[in-house]
Amino acid sequence: MKLVEAINISKRYAGLWALKNFSLTINQGCVFGILGPNGAGKTSFIRIITQIIAPDEGQILFKGDPLSADDVLKTGYLPEERGLYKKMTLEEQLTYLAGLKGVKRRVAKERINTYLHKFELEQWKNRTVEELSKGMQQKVQFISSVIHQPELLILDEPFSGFDPVNADLLKNEIMEIKKSGCTIIYSTHRMETVEELCDEIVLINKGQKILEGTVADIRRQNKKNVYTVEMEALPGNNEIFSITESTEQGNGLYTFKIKTEKKPNDVIQSLLPYGQIHCFKEELPSINEIFISKIKNS
């Protein structure tokens, strides 16, 4: 089911295009990654969805209907530039922000206690925000974006500043939220997390869409016909493949990469006469490699 549809969205600032005839579809219950270099149009698109700004042209549909003011209550937003009330206690802050999203005080208190336990912040609940470390403040900001259990959660660089332990904690929570049926828009420069979290992605540059699809499909569409092989002998180049690099492991095995336009079964057949094959796998490009290549050529 479609949750968000962007139809021919355009936005200009002082004559410069931030988005130009930009369209995409985000299905319910997925993690959708929005990728692009600085100034590509990612933030403008997010601000349009969250109704901070309006498009010059085009429209956004939410569950098939034009985006309305009431849809803000169904949306959670974690901006890249964090903003909390530094003199309020952690509990006061979260209670207040939950109330703005229509959550009753009693329900908010229960959810706050659950999240504080989950993010190891229980002992800090009566301390002011300015007493918290930057990482703790980021946890509080994340909690504030999900406390009302939104249908759509927008995360803009959510891992910024987190150490590996807390980044892993947040990843697990994002996947738990996804399991509940929430749709997540994830905007980031961290390509390694894209492959871990995202079901689908879109790559934007200069306000326009360069590619869109599932992570698996995009990696396969951009394959370079390179395979890694581990076997007991090092064959020579032939009409089936060419060896691009090789390593002798010292235990009677060789690891090498080959490039070929032939199908995997044909390649394996051509390797069998040289000895036992211990490993054979296709090397698909990473999202990071695809990102760099597409941006350079766009």
148 and 276 in a single domain? The answer is no
pTM of the entire predicted model: 0.87
In a domain, 134, yes or no: no
The rounded percent of the chain whose pLDDT value lies above 90 is 71
- Distance CA(258)–CA(270), nearest Å, equals 12
Instruction: Identify the pLDDT of residue 297.
Output: 80
Compare 251 and 29 and report the one with higher pLDDT: 29
71 and 182 in a single domain? The answer is yes
DSSP readout, 104-127?
-HHHHHHHHHHHHHHTT-GGGTTS
239 and 201 in a single domain? The answer is no
The rounded percent of the chain whose pLDDT value lies above 70 is 100
208 and 234 in a single domain? The answer is no
In a domain, 128, yes or no: no
Domain of residue 271, CATH code:
3.30.70
Task: State which of 170, 185, 219 marks the end of a domain.
Answer: 219
16 and 75 in a single domain? The answer is yes
Instruction: Identify the pLDDT of residue 113.
Output: 94
153 and 259 in a single domain? The answer is no
In a domain, 127, yes or no: no
Instruction: Identify the pLDDT of residue 135.
Output: 87
Where is 154: in which H helix or E strand? strand 152-156
pLDDT tens readout for residues 255-285:
999 999 999 999 999 999 988 999 999 999 9
Number of domains in the chain: 2
In a domain, 29, yes or no: yes
pLDDT at 131 over 80: yes
Domain of residue 46, CATH code:
3.40.50.300
The overall average pLDDT reported for the chain is 91
Domain encompassing residue 173: 2-83+143-219
Confidence of residue 229 (pLDDT cuts 50, 70, 90): very high
Q: How far from each other are the two terminal CA atoms of the chain, in whole angstroms?
A: 32
213 and 230 in a single domain? The answer is no
Instruction: Identify the pLDDT of residue 239.
Output: 87
- How many Cα atoms occupy the beta-carbon half-sphere of 95 within 13 Å? 12
Q: How far is CA 289 from CA 38, 74, 212, in A?
A: 17, 35, 15
